[in-house]
Structure 1
């Protein structure tokens, strides 16, 4: 027998109502910019994971499937809606969901991000205040277990906000494990290939849509000898709500831990939470990031799980470029004859500190002598940069 739940979040952002006929026709785009709209619940098939629209409700395609290589021991699915242009800028988006939730674990979560200039904010639970006013928003719906959704009604409104971007991104020393799982499907729907180039973080707040680098990390060996810029395409290890790179006040879970300390690390090293993760499993290592095989073996040239230095690049401002063809060698100087210091993965968004003139390179985006400095002693040819944003980079 189905158990119907009625739930209102404390933030006032999401109201879950009993199942009822949908009020909107899923699959139809919005006709005009509006601050109140119904989300389309029809999956496009490309960026959606393990969800299907039956004509009357959104539900899991396979109730036995957990994205991310079964690392979260619950069946889940994710729907990513198209970006929606607002009539007026807003700092908060609330959601009213008509759904039926049966059994446990089961539930519906609605998450929102906004386009601030040329940069997406981090994903937030509906109802939370965005870090700054935005003119375009995107919504995703997470289903867990036996949950069905018939409508999602969204309302954007003004709210106080403080810009969250700093001059440099947060950098923390984190224990890294190798993800592997070749042939599996990540939380954003990417099918993992041999020697792939992406990372996983234990919170969906930094999960980039498939084939984008909206959320990119720079991960380096502790010596700094090797680095890779890679998009965040999966959720894990251990937890799914641990955005440990954020300040404690805005951290999604475990707000009593210091910024930069993953819950798994605290559980493993200090017995935090009884030594368990959010699912009650005994934490067997302190990992706060998973590296796809190409990042692990080729980018950083690791041979075993290791501590690494991680920068969460979306927490920083400044000019950046999108790597259109990779993995691209990071060179120690402005020529292909300089030693490789690692890679920049396809779709990664790299910070462009400044640029220098160097060897002429013919690449997929033209022939140029411009080399972009993406870190101290780290250069990539601009001939492999598909687009730039965040302003013009200065000459070095």
Structure 2
């Protein structure tokens, strides 16, 4: 089973490039080593194909959709999850690839820890995790040059070992400008076909991009009054940029490291002329958006009527148990029963932070009949009858 940039590996014109690490220390004898299988392209891969010589874009033409979506063709291959023989905190990649000028190839990895998947991090020169991980997944992200020049990745060799790291801290909530996605019938960055009244969001970095039909990376997005919220998976990349993980601190943030944490580059460009008022592709930024909302999230979850400022929590940066919404969109309520007021929605596949549980109205759902209601970290409630799984720790009574 399979599950989708820090400095991008840019490949030189018509050259074969091998990116290698320094010789490993003696302790590396205990490392796990393996080659990523680039030959299997299936449902969770986007716009890539494998040829006799390597992995490349299936279609190098720029997307036809209008700004602020990406101005160049991009593709992605996600490899199967790798079970490690021992916990690791570092994964490194050696990459052999060929490319023409302007094309890029990036190898990224993520690891599974007790609180869920880490963000995707570049494995060249190394990805370091704040907690030991037992499973690792890799992906290869390709982009064409403006002229359609392409890259071809021939081999990816991965090494996982352990180094000392410091513990992570939970991430904060930021107020950013939200725009509506629309684009019904088009394909998102993770391969999802946008449906009418759909429930997902887009963020301007692949670091928090969920594989299709998963909520590994979920946000809680609320109106500034707090009266309505939606928990929704991140299924697309945008608006404007594709390498702007603005929710991360400067030491971790991929690009625009001089901006304050929580300030999207598009917002800085629009409001104060940062980067000449242009995005990473050189386009003039026409709004300060830091998140895009699918139509269902926009209209039904938050009940917005126009683009607005919203408060966004990037839930994978936090900790504690998570419940997976198996059927939705699910009403979130002010109390443990259907007579309580609705305060928003939790999209299908969303991973919601469960603080504790209470006894309330008995509900029959797709997974069980139960009177258990899960209290979310926001203080609202969802019926456990619609939660397909709980991970990241045990849940106690409130």
Q: Separation in 2 of the partners of 1:107 and 1:331? A: 46
The residue that corresponds to 1:239 in the other structure is: 241
Match of 1:112 in 2: 109
Gaps of 5+ in 1: 14-32
Aligned residue for 2:178, secondary structure, equals: strand
Contact kept? 2:18, 2:95, Cα under 8 Å: no
Q: What's 2:203 paired with?
A: 201
Q: Secondary structure at the match of 2:196?
A: coil
Corresponding position: 1:36 with 2:33: yes
Q: Does residue 1 of structure 2 align to residue 4 of structure 1?
A: no
Per the TM alignment, residue 158 of structure 1 is displaced from its structure 2 partner at its CA by 2.0
Residue aligned with 1:371, SS: strand
* Structure 2, unpaired ranges of 5+: 1-11, 23-29, 145-149
Alignment partner, residue 127 of structure 2: 128
Q: Deviations over 1:227-280 (max 9, x none)?
A: 000001111101111111111111111111111111111111111111111111
Given the two structures, how large is their TM-score scaled by the length of structure 1? 0.90
Within 5 Å, give how 1:258-337 maps onto structure 2.
Answer: 258-337=260-339
Change (3 A) 1:89 1:68: farther
Q: Corresponding residue for 2:166?
A: 162
Q: What does 1:51-90 align with in structure 2 at a 5 Å threshold?
A: 51-64=48-61, 66=63, 71-90=69-88
Match of 1:353 in 2: 355
What residue in structure 2 maps to residue 18 of structure 1? Answer: none
The correspondence for 2:183, drawn from 160, 178, 181, is: 181
1:103 Cα deviation (Å)? 3.0
Matched pairs, number: 372
Q: Distance in 2 between matches of 1:367 and 1:91?
A: 40
Judged with a 3 Å threshold, the aligned counterparts in structure 2 of structure 1 residues 251 and 305 are, in CA distance, closer, same or farther, namely same
Deviations 1:326-376 (A, max 9, x none): 000111111112221110000000011111111100000110001111144
SS in 2 for 1:175: strand
CA distance in structure 2 between the aligned counterparts of 1:375 and 1:117, rounded to whole angstroms:
18
Which residue in the other structure is 1:49 paired with?
46
1:339 maps to 2:355: no
**1:292-313: CA deviations, max 9, x gaps?**
0000000000000000000011
> Any idea what SS the aligned residue of 1:337 has?
coil
TM-score normalised by length of structure 2:
0.89
Residue 19 of structure 1 is matched in structure 2 by none
Change (3 A) 1:234 1:45: same
- How far 1:43 sits from its partner (Å)? 3.4
Q: 1:175 offset after TM fit, Å?
A: 0.3
Pair 170,67 (structure 1): closer, same or farther in 2 beyond 3 Å: farther
CA distance in 1, matches of 2:59, 2:389: 37
